Amino acid sequence: MGRPRHMESQIKALVVAGVLLLTAVTLAVSIGQGFALRWEENRRWLYTVRSVLEALDRPQAEIVVAMLRPAWRVFPGTAGRSGGEILRSRDGEMWAAFPNDEVLWEELLESNRPLLVVALVTLLLVLEISIFWAYAIVRPLRRLAWACRDMGSGRWPDLGPEGASGTYEIATLHEAFRHMVDRLQQWQRVERQVGRMERLAALGQVVAGVAHEVRNPLASLRIHLDLLEVDVLPAGQPSLRVLGDEVDRLNQIVSQLLAFSRPRPPIGGPVDLGEVVSWCHQMVRDRMSRQGVSWRETGFDGARPVPGDAAQLRQMLLNLVLNALDAMPRGGELHVGTRYGEDDGPGGVRRAALFLSVEDSGEGIASELLPRLFDPFFTTRPEGTGLGLALVHRIAELHGGAVDVVSSPGRTIFTVTLPEREGDAP
C-alpha cells in the first residue's frame, strides 16, 4: 500500500481541475463560435467580391481585390498556387486568394480579450479560494492529530478556543474530542485523589502506631534529662542542652505526624482572620528581618469572621508563611491577602467562599513538582520533613475547603479556599 494522499492537495486539484475545465470549455465554445462566424463572414465577402469582379475590368478589379485584405492573402495569377480560391475579372485577369488565419486569430483574441482576462482572473481566484478552503478543512484535522499525539506522549493537549473549528462536522469532532479530554482529566483527578487517600490511610495507620510508641519513650527521656540537669557538672551542661533540644525536636515531629494522621475535628467557631494573620506576623517577624523580607497584607480591614478552628487555621497559615520564607532566602516580599467570592462546593454547587492567599517573590516551583507538593514527606529541602504543606492540605480539607498553588519564576501563590457560611463546612 502506497503513501496516503493529502486531502488538501486533492481538494485543490479537484476544484482547480473543475474550474479549469469549465473555463476551457467556455473559452473554446466562445472562440470556436467566433472563429466559425468570422470564417463564414470572410467567405461571404469573398463570394460577393468574386461576383462583383466578373463585371469589372483589371484596373477597377484590382481596387476591389485589395478590399479582401487583410482577412485574405491575395496573389496575382494562379500558377503554382493550388488550394486557394480563384478570382477572375471580366477581361480574364486572375488572382488566387488564401484565408489569412493569423489575422483571424488576432481579431478573435482582440475581441475576446475581456473574456480571456476574466477567465484568467476567475481561474486564479478559484485557485486561491480552493487553497483557503482546503486550509480551513485540513487545519482543524491536523490540530486534532497533533492533540492525539500529545495525549499519547502524556501531555494534555490545547485545542484552542471552543467554536473555532470550522465546519459543523469538524466542530462536532473537536467537541467530542474536547469532551473526551475533559472526562479523562476528571477521571485522572479522581484517580489521583483516591490513590492519595489510600496512601494516606495506610501511612496514617503506620505513622500513628510508630508515633504513639515513640512518644512514650520520648516523654521518659525528657523527664530524665530534666532530672539529670541538677546532677551533671557544668562542663556537661551544654551537651545536656543539645540532647534536650533534639528530644524536643523529635517530640514536635511526632506531634506533627500524629496531627496529620489522626487529625482532631475542627472546633467550630467564628474566627477573626485578621487576628490569625497578625499572630502569624508576630511569629515570623524576627526571621523576616534577618532575611530581608517585607510583609504586606491586604483585605483584612473589616473582614468577616469565618467558621473554623482558630488553632488549626493558625497552624495552616504559619506553615504557608514559613514555606514562603524558605523560598526567599535572599529577601523579597511576602503578601498575605484575602478576598471574598464564590467557588464550587461539594457536588459542584456554587457557594460563598473566602480566598486566603500567601504570595512570595521567590524563585518559584518547577512545574513538574507541583502535583506532588501536598504529598506527605515530599520535600526538596534537606532539613525539611515534608509535612508542612501536607498539613495545610489536610486542615483545608477538614474545613470543607481546598488549597491551590500557582507558580512562575519570581512568584508563587498558595490560595486556601474556605467556605464562608458554617453550613457549607463539614
- How far is Cα 90 from Cα 75, in angstroms, rounded to an integer? 18
Scanning 356-416, the segments in alpha helix (DSSP H) are 388-398
Which residue, 141 or 203, has its beta carbon nearer to another protein? 141
- Locate 229 and state its grid cell: 540537669
Which residue, 120 or 219, has its beta carbon nearer to another protein? 120
Which residue, 135 or 378, has its beta carbon nearer to another protein? 135
CB 387 within 8 A of CB 255: no
- Least CB distance to another protein at residue 147 (A): 11
- Locate 271 and state its grid cell: 474566627
- Least CB distance to another protein at residue 136 (A): 10
- Least CB distance to another protein at residue 112 (A): 10
CB 410 within 8 A of CB 364: yes
- Least CB distance to another protein at residue 250 (A): 52
Which residue, 130 or 312, has its beta carbon nearer to another protein? 130
By CB under 8 A, name the binding residues for another protein.
102, 105-106, 109-110, 113-114, 116-117, 120-121, 123-125, 127-128, 131-132, 135, 138-139, 142-143, 146, 160-161, 164
- Least CB distance to another protein at residue 157 (A): 12
- Least CB distance to another protein at residue 163 (A): 10
- How far is Cα 335 from Cα 358, in angstroms, rounded to an integer? 6
Which residue, 160 or 270, has its beta carbon nearer to another protein? 160
Read out DSSP for 89-124?
-TT--EEEEEE-HHHHHHHHHHHTHHHHHHHHHHHH
- Least CB distance to another protein at residue 19 (A): 13
Which residue, 161 or 238, has its beta carbon nearer to another protein? 161
Q: How far is CA 79 from CA 64, 95, 196, in A?
A: 21, 10, 111
Which residue, 133 or 279, has its beta carbon nearer to another protein? 133
Closest by CA position to 352, among listed 340, 363, 360:
340
Which residue, 111 or 252, has its beta carbon nearer to another protein? 111
Q: How far is CA 10 from CA 18, 135, 138, 252, 371, in A?
A: 12, 12, 11, 73, 46
CB 104 within 8 A of CB 42: yes
- Least CB distance to another protein at residue 363 (A): 21
- Least CB distance to another protein at residue 70 (A): 11
- Least CB distance to another protein at residue 255 (A): 48
Read out DSSP for 176-197?
HHHHHHHHHHHHHHHHHHHHHH
Which residue, 37 or 125, has its beta carbon nearer to another protein? 125
Q: How far is CA 353 from CA 56, 342, 392, in A?
A: 114, 5, 17
CB 153 within 8 A of CB 136: no
Burial 75-85 (b: 16+ CB within 10 A, else e): eeeeeeeeebb
DSSP-derived secondary structure letter, 77: S
Which residue, 127 or 283, has its beta carbon nearer to another protein? 127
- Least CB distance to another protein at residue 69 (A): 15
DSSP SS3 for 154: coil
CB 32 within 8 A of CB 162: no
- Locate 33 and state its grid cell: 463560435
240: β partners: none
Which residue, 121 or 201, has its beta carbon nearer to another protein? 121
